[in-house]
């Protein structure tokens, strides 16, 4: 799928949130409104935009509610302008969660990762207490839950990546609490027969952040690139959004788990050299390729959704052009090189 190179953040948001015919047709069949919990995060805004665009293109009148603390007022304003009904809510407030609007479809993407070190208790509260409140409030809905590939054990590139049936072995407070989030939703899915689909994602690519942007920035600034984690998976954020919304049809009780990522096990060194060639710079490396990293196998998701529409080389080209053009950054590195579980 050949994408135009966006010149502005507005063009990028439109690119990421553009629904294809399959998604539009699917969203047109949904019988009711959609609530997105944690919409203020990195993926939430364009997810909300995509859902709203798909509803409109399908010719159906549906509400999209976006729930967040909205610490960034500009994010709330952007969502309001496009027609998302924004709701200011601290999801740690049980009574506030109970007042949230009814909706048969819920995307749960609230949580805490970065800044976990030194604030472990808040991470556990956000990742396990909040899911309890939400699972009780929306027991009669279909819930798609964002999780992470960090719940798996570290693997070598030769493994082919973890599959959904592999045993989990989370390392560190973030990964352990993320598994706690899954277990809470799995528990309530059984108790209330709530259809749930848990998406273990790693890593989404937006031109403003992501593993590719992290590597590109280091090559561009001629900073050394750590090779401790020598390989990774990634997927275009537009494909993440598409698969997220299509996942409502795969919600089950007991809860279903799907790995969401691209098909390649990607070499950090190779990606850096690809950026170096595009930037006219020679990448600098530090350390040697390790043999312990988060890797997932998304063959199951590919069998359900098809392969991602945007290829790895196209993502690299888009990121390279964005960086060369001085494109904005969220300033939120993925810390993909972390192997001690401390984010």
Provide the pLDDT for residue 216.
98
Task: Provide, rounded to the nearest whole percent, the portion of the chain with pLDDT above 90.
Answer: 91
Q: For residue 92, is pLDDT > 70?
A: yes
Q: What is the mean pLDDT of residues 190-212?
A: 98
Q: Yes or no: say if 106 and 51 are a contact pair by the CB < 8 Å rule.
A: no
Provide the pLDDT for residue 332.
83
Residue range 146-184, pLDDT digits in tens: 999 999 999 999 999 999 999 999 999 999 999 999 999
Residue range 233-261, pLDDT digits in tens: 999 999 999 999 999 999 999 999 999 99
338 confidence band (pLDDT: 50, 70, 90)? confident
Q: In which element (H, E) is residue 273 found?
A: helix 268-279
Q: In which element (H, E) is residue 178 found?
A: helix 173-192
- Per DSSP, the residues of 277-339 read HHHT----EES---S-B--B--HHHHHHH-S-SS-HHHHHHHHHHHHHTT---------TT--
Which of 116-120, 206-210, 223-227, 282-286 has the lowest average pLDDT? Answer: 116-120
Burial grade of 61 (CB within 10 A; 0-12, 13-18, 19 or more):
exposed
Question: Pick from 22, 61, 65: which is nearest to 241 by CA?
Answer: 22
Residue range 35-70, pLDDT digits in tens: 999 999 999 999 999 999 999 999 999 999 999 999
Q: Give me the residue spans of the domains in the chain.
A: 9-207+234-263+293-305
Half-sphere exposure of 203 (CA within 13 A, CB side): 24
340 confidence band (pLDDT: 50, 70, 90)? low
Provide the pLDDT for residue 207.
98
Q: For residue 130, is pLDDT > 80?
A: yes
Token digits for 160? 């082919």
Half-sphere exposure of 95 (CA within 13 A, CB side): 0
Q: What is the mean pLDDT of residues 82-95?
A: 98
Going by CATH, does the domain composed of 9-207+234-263+293-305 fall within 3.40.50.720? yes
128 confidence band (pLDDT: 50, 70, 90)? very high
Q: Check residue 183 and report its DSSP letter.
A: H
Question: Pick from 255, 233, 24, 304: which is nearest to 144 by CA?
Answer: 255
């Amino acid at each position: 799928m050949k994408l135009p190179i966006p010149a502005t953040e507005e063009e990028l948001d439109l690119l990421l949130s553009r629904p294809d015919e399959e998604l539009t047709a699917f969203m047109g069949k949904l019988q009711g409104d959609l609530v997105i919990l944690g919409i203020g995060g990195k993926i939430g805004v364009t997810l909300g935009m995509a859902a709203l665009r798909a509803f409109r293109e399908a010719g159906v009148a549906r509400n999209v509610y976006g729930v967040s603390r909205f610490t960034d007022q500009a994010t709330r304003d952007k969502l309001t302008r496009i027609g998302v009904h924004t709701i200011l809510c601290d999801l740690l407030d049980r009574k506030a969660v109970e007042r949230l609007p009814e909706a048969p479809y819920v995307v749960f993407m609230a949580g805490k990762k970065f800044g976990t070190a030194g604030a472990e208790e808040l991470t556990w509260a956000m990742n396990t207490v909040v899911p309890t409140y939400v699972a009780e409030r929306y027991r009669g809905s279909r819930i798609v839950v964002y999780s992470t590939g960090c719940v798996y054990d570290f693997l070598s590139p030769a493994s082919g990546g973890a599959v959904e049936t592999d045993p989990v072995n989370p390392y560190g407070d973030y990964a352990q609490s993320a598994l706690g989030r899954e277990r809470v939703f799995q528990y309530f899915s059984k108790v209330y027969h709530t259809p749930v689909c848990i998406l273990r994602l790693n890593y989404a690519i937006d031109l403003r952040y992501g593993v590719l942007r992290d590597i590109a920035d280091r090559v561009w600034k001629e900073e050394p690139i750590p090779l401790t984690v020598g390989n990774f998976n990634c997927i275009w954020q537009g494909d993440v959004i598409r698969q997220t919304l299509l996942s409502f049809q795969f919600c089950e009780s007991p809860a279903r788990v799907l790995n969401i990522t691209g098909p390649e096990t990607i070499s950090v060194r190779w990606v850096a050299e690809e950026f170096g060639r595009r930037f006219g710079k020679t990448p600098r490396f530090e350390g040697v390729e390790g043999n312990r990293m988060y890797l997932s196998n998304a063959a199951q998701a590919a069998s359900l959704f098809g392969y991602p529409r945007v290829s790895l080389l196209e993502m690299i080209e888009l990121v390279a052009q964005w960086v060369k053009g001085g494109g904005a950054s969220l300033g939120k590195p993925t810390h993909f090189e972390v192997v001690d579980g401390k984010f």
